[in-house]
Amino acid sequence: MRLDKFLADMGVGSRSDLKKDIRGGKVVIDGKMIKDPGFAVPEGAQVLYKGQKVAYEEFVYYMLNKPAGAISASEDPKQKTVIDLLDERKRKDLFPVGRLDKDTEGLLLITNDGELAHQLLSPKKHVDKVYYARIEGRVTEEDVEKFRAGLQIGEDFTAMPAQLEILASGDTSEIKVTIQEGKFHQVKRMFHAVGKEVVYLKRLSMGTLLLDESLAPGAYRRLTDEELAGLKGHWGDR
C-alpha cells in the first residue's frame, strides 16, 4: 500500500497534508527516512510519523450508545452525525451500520467493514434487532398476535413476523420488540399500524452484539474480540 494512503487510512491527516509531511521528512520506516508519498509500505514494517508509531488496521469496529439528536450518517453539513461523536483520531471511511432515527437511542455499530455491514443488514440473513420502547397507549395480546402474523406498514410493504413482548401495559406501555429488517421508521410504523405511537425507542442488540449498558448515551468503545467473533459467527469466517 502507498505510504500516503496508509497514513490517511489511519486518520493521522488528510492525504494532501500527508504528502507534504512525507516530502518534508516526517516519516521514518524501519529506521530510514522515506520522502516518497508513493512508497510501497512493506507488510509488518514499523512506520513512524512525527516520531509516533502508526500501526495499520484494515478494519475497525466501534459500539456507540447513540444519543438522541445525532443523525445516522457519515457526514452532514449542518447536523451532528454519529461519526462526529467519535472524538479520537479516526479514519475517514467509517460509517454506521444501518440507521437509527434522530430521536432513537442505543446500540449502533460503526465500522469501515462493508461486508460485515451488509451481512448484518440483509433481511435474508435474519439477524435479530431488539428494541426497547415506550408506547403511548395500552399494548395488548392482540397486538402481540398482529406483530407475530406480520403487519402491513405502508401501502405495499408487509413486515416480516416480529416478536413483541409486553413489559408493562397501561396508558403508557413498555415493550421489547425483535425484528429482522430495518425499514425506515419500521418500529414506529408497526405501532402506528396498530393505532399506537412510539414515544421512546432504544436499540438493545443486533445479532449477538448487546449494548454495553455502562456506555452513557454518546459514549463509545471498540468491540472486543469476542463481540466481533460473535457477529462474524452469524455468517461464517472469512
From 138, 143, 132, select the one nearest 172 (Cα to Cα): 138
Longest dimension (CA), the chain: 72
Does residue 201 bind ligand URA (CB under 6 A)?
yes
Q: Give 19-23's long-range contacts (Cβ < 8 A, gap of 24+).
A: 21/49, 21/50
What mask, x for binding ligand URA by CB under 6 A, covers residues 99 to 138? -xx--x----------------------------------
Closer CB to ligand URA, 3 or 139, in the complex: 139
Does residue 84 bind ligand URA (CB under 6 A)?
no
From 104, 117, 1, select the one nearest 60 (Cα to Cα): 117
**Looking at residue 158, what DSSP letter applies?**
B
Check: CB of residue 198 under 8 Å from CB of residue 135. yes
From 112, 80, 85, 77, select the one nearest 97 (Cα to Cα): 112
Q: Is 212 a catalytic residue?
A: no
Among 60, 71, 108, 187, binds ligand URA (CB under 6 A): 187
Among residues 84, 93, 101, 128, which one is catalytic? 101
Closer CB to ligand URA, 160 or 229, in the complex: 160
Among 162, 186, 202, 206, binds ligand URA (CB under 6 A): 186
CB hemisphere CA count around 219 (13 angstroms) = 8
Among 188, 196, 202, 232, binds ligand URA (CB under 6 A): 188
The stretch among 19-27, 107-115, 120-128, 183-191 that binds ligand URA (CB under 6 A) is 183-191
The stretch among 34-42, 50-58, 120-128, 182-190 that binds ligand URA (CB under 6 A) is 182-190
Check: CB of residue 132 under 8 Å from CB of residue 204. yes
With vertex at residue 114, the alpha carbon angle to CA 58 and CA 78, rounded to the nearest 5 degrees, is 100
Closer CB to ligand URA, 66 or 232, in the complex: 66
Please name every residue paired with 2 in a beta bridge, in sequence order, or none if there are none. 40
Q: How far apart are CB 176 and ligand URA at their closest, in Å?
A: 13
Binding-site ranges for ligand URA (CB under 6 A): 100-101, 104, 185-188, 201
